[in-house]
Amino acid sequence: MSAKVPPTVTLAERRVPSLGGFNLTFLSIEVRRLMRNRRTVLVTLVMPVVLFLLFRANRRSGALAGIGFTAAATMIGIAVYGAMLAATSGGAMVSIERAQGWSRQLRLTPLRPAAYIAIKILVAMLLGLTSVAVVYVVGAIDGVQMAPATWLLSGVLAWAASFVFASFGLFMGFLLPSENVMQVIGPVLAVFSLFGGLFVPLTLLPSVMQDIAPYMPTYGVASIARFPLVGGAFDPIWLVSVVLWTAAFGAAATILFRRDTRRA
């Protein structure tokens, strides 16, 4: 049996996409998709503000200010929480994509896993940036006072925290089925927040928790984000914590993505 027609395509001339398929059209459509998901956007932007206002009584009494936990320190902690919540939810959206078979469909395109993950992290971090901005605006209205440079620097560092948690969200999104993902992530983030000293100073926690705290993924990022405010010595272990957790979550997410041949 011979071919009825000559090949219509010159096979060797076909190119693979540059940057593994990463491009701005993809990114902009993903952002638009995220905006359409009003519930996620609302929850991730409103939750930190609610928490911030809940801790208001503490701040006003000045009880914690004596041990260096001022309104500004609380606000930065909450901003880190907001960035974390937003980025994790953004990353965890991959569980929906898996459930709908989209990840599998993407495997039939030239898109490289690294480019896909880069897009997902960027979108998650964009949501994280919005969350930090909202918390800071509410904080400023509520009378939090910091030097302009401290506002900016601590904001950027709190936002940078979202990188770690975008990776964490992706990891969870690839690990869990979509109907469970937020139920699991919510409590996990609460534990991270408490142990990492986002809401209350670590010195008020039982000593066992204080011992565990440095191993939490929130510990490094919260300490770094508060550094411009608190000052003092910069502990390199914070940076090590951020790098190691990001690497661990990122590697786990990549491995699960590659293994994700599941049929939808």
Partner 1 sequence: MAREHGFVAAIELHDVHRAFGPVRAVDGIDLHLELGEIAALLGPNGAGKTTTIDMILGLGQPDQGTVSVLGMSPAAAISRGLVAAVMQTGGLLKDLTVRETLRLTASLYPEPRPVDEVLERAGIAHLAERLVGKCSGGEQQRLRFALALLPDPALMALDEPTAGMDVEGRREFWSAIRRDAERGRTVLFATHYLEEADAYADRIILLRQGRIVADGTAAEVRNLSTGRSVRANLAEADRAALDGLPGVRSVEIRGGRVLIQTMDSDAVARYLLTATAAHDVEIVAHNLEDAFLALTSDEQVPAVEGRTADVSAA
The yes or no reply on residue 39 touching partner 1 (CB under 8 A) is no
Helices (H), the chain: 24-36, 38-54, 56-61, 71-92, 94-99, 102-106, 113-141, 148-175, 181-195, 207-212, 217-230, 236-259
**Distance in angstroms (rounded) separating the CA atoms of residues 78 and 71:** 10
Residue 121 beta carbon to partner 1: minimum distance, rounded to whole angstroms: 17
The yes or no reply on residue 38 touching partner 1 (CB under 8 A) is no
Determine which residue in the list 67, 109, 137, 234 makes contact with partner 1, applying CB under 8 A.
109
Determine which residue in the list 39, 57, 66, 108 makes contact with partner 1, applying CB under 8 A.
108
Q: Which amino acid is residue 217, in one-letter code?
A: P
Residues of this chain, 12-31, that bind partner 1 according to CB under 8 A: 14-18, 21, 23, 25-26, 29-30
- Whether 82 contacts 128, CB under 8 Å: yes
The yes or no reply on residue 208 touching partner 1 (CB under 8 A) is no
Determine which residue in the list 41, 55, 97, 160 makes contact with partner 1, applying CB under 8 A.
97
In this structure, the number of other CB atoms found within 10 A of the CB of residue 254 comes to: 18
Collect all residues with Cβ–Cβ distance below 8 Å to 29 and sequence separation of at least 6. Answer: none
Residue 112 beta carbon to partner 1: minimum distance, rounded to whole angstroms: 8
> Which tokens hold the place of 145?
């006072």
- If binding means CB under 8 A, how many residues of this protein chain bind partner 1? 39
Residue 22 beta carbon to partner 1: minimum distance, rounded to whole angstroms: 9
Instruction: Supply φ then ψ for residue 234, to 5 degrees.
Output: -85, 120
Site residues (CB under 8 A) for partner 1?
Answer: 1-9, 11, 14-18, 21, 23, 25-26, 29-30, 32-33, 36-37, 97, 100-102, 104-105, 107-111, 261, 263-264
